[in-house]
Amino acid sequence: MRPVKIITDSCSDLTVELMEKYDIDYARMFYRYGDVEKPASLTWTEAEVKELYDLMRKGVRVTTAQVLAEEYETLFTKYVEEGKDIVYLACSGKLSNSINTAKQVASEVMAKYEGAKVICVDSLNACIALGALAIEASKMASEGMGVDEVAEKITGMRKKVNQFCTLHSLKTMHKAGRVTGATAFFGNLLGVKPILICNADGEQMAYKKVKGRQNSFKEIVALAKEAIIDGENQTIYFEHSDASKEEVDQLVAMIKAEIPCKDVYISYIGPIIGGTIGAEAVNIVCFGKEVTIRNEEK
């Protein structure tokens, strides 16, 4: 049986530390502002994080672009030629068309290399929730599971990832066309903070609205506490788009006080989703109850 390589993409928000620990590679997306285009690198520095979100605080609009077919071809070919099969975990197909490009390239690579298998899985998730799925897939691969078994099991876990994100402001979502001008204006005026989730179909949606920043922190911690299963044996992932150290420390302390867990891992929200939700958003991710909410139910 061939060994299995796990690949994800820029939307996963994995850190260098996590990618090295779990032997995960990724396909690069891009982000743009003004006349500048940059790869959405998961190796970005704190200075680069600060630079991006400071631009967004100044009102600069950031847009994103999917993974190029050439990027997939290079990555898939590299590992197939090393004698490995591949499970590629993609950003939700509701947020990016990358999964469809990946499937096309995977078919071409498998036709070229007899016996190789490249399975592309729509994660139905984004941000570190996608990264967490890639980590679990990597654990399965390291235990000796074959490519079909890894793909099947990780597909079954997609709706067990729970993520609860709250924003500092609706201005960036308005610029990205995700909310109306009136909603953004009155939301910001009244201090309303939406709680975002990835629903059962892989769509970003506003699940709740809470008045006030502190109340929104309490709400996402409470929602994670209610959703998590077997928290004592898992890491909770906490990420933010350049929130203040005081807020980060406060939220991590709240998580540890309210939710029994093995650890809390802290990272940054990358530019792919950060470009839509803006600076100072915070996001909690854990494995737990199955996500069943759909847009028509809200």
For the chain, what is the mean pLDDT?
Answer: 92
- State the average pLDDT over residues 18-26: 98
For residue range 276-293, what is the model confidence (pLDDT) as tens digits?
889 999 999 999 999 999
120 and 149 both lie in a single domain? yes
The residue from 110, 142, 159 where one domain ends is: 159
Residue 37: beta bridge partners? 32
193 and 283 both lie in a single domain? yes
The residues, ordered by sequence, that sit 6+ positions from 233 with a Cβ below 8 Å of its Cβ are: 262
24 and 94 both lie in a single domain? yes
**The pLDDT of residue 190:** 58
**The pLDDT of residue 207:** 87
135 and 184 both lie in a single domain? no
36 and 68 both lie in a single domain? yes
> What type of residue is 164?
F
Of 128 and 173, the one with more pLDDT: 128
Q: Which two tokens stand for residue 273?
A: 């989703």
In the structure, what pLDDT confidence band is assigned to residue 173 with cuts at 50, 70 and 90? Answer: low
% helix, strand, coil for the chain, step of 5: 45, 25, 30
CB 264 within 8 A of CB 255: yes
**The pLDDT of residue 179:** 42
Q: Is residue 166 pLDDT above 70, yes or no?
A: yes
Look up the CATH number of the domain holding residue 39: 3.40.50.10170
153 and 24 both lie in a single domain? yes
**The pLDDT of residue 225:** 98
149 and 8 both lie in a single domain? yes
The residues, ordered by sequence, that sit 6+ positions from 244 with a Cβ below 8 Å of its Cβ are: 280
For residue range 81-90, what is the model confidence (pLDDT) as tens digits?
999 999 999 9
Q: Residue 89's closest CA among 7, 159, 162?
A: 7
Q: Is residue 121 pLDDT above 60, yes or no?
A: yes
- State the average pLDDT over residues 17-37: 97
> What type of residue is 92?
S
Separation of alpha carbons 72 and 84, rounded Å: 15
Q: Which two tokens stand for residue 107?
A: 């078919």
Q: Is residue 204 pLDDT above 90, yes or no?
A: no
The residues, ordered by sequence, that sit 6+ positions from 46 with a Cβ below 8 Å of its Cβ are: none
State the residue range of the domain holding 106.
Answer: 4-159
**The pLDDT of residue 171:** 61
Entry pTM: 0.93
111 and 43 both lie in a single domain? yes
CB 200 within 8 A of CB 227: no
Residue 293 in 3-state DSSP? coil
For residue range 220-273, what is the model confidence (pLDDT) as tens digits?
999 999 999 999 999 999 999 999 999 999 999 999 999 999 999 999 999 999
- State the average pLDDT over residues 32-57: 94
Tally the domains of the chain. 2
Look up the CATH number of the domain holding residue 211: 3.30.1180.10
CB 238 within 8 A of CB 254: no
147 and 8 both lie in a single domain? yes
54 and 109 both lie in a single domain? yes
CB 195 within 8 A of CB 207: yes
- State the average pLDDT over residues 42-52: 95
**What are the residue ranges of helices labelled H in the chain?**
16-22, 46-57, 69-81, 98-112, 127-142, 147-157, 171-175, 181-190, 213-227, 245-258, 271-277
Q: Is residue 189 pLDDT above 90, yes or no?
A: no
What is the 8-class DSSP label of residue 251? H
Q: Which of 9-18, 106-115, 171-180 has the lowest mean pLDDT?
A: 171-180
The residue from 125, 159, 193 where one domain ends is: 159
Helical pair 213-227 and 245-258, crossing angle rounded to 10 deg = 30
The residue from 139, 159, 179 where one domain ends is: 159
151 and 164 both lie in a single domain? no
253 and 293 both lie in a single domain? yes
CB 215 within 8 A of CB 166: no
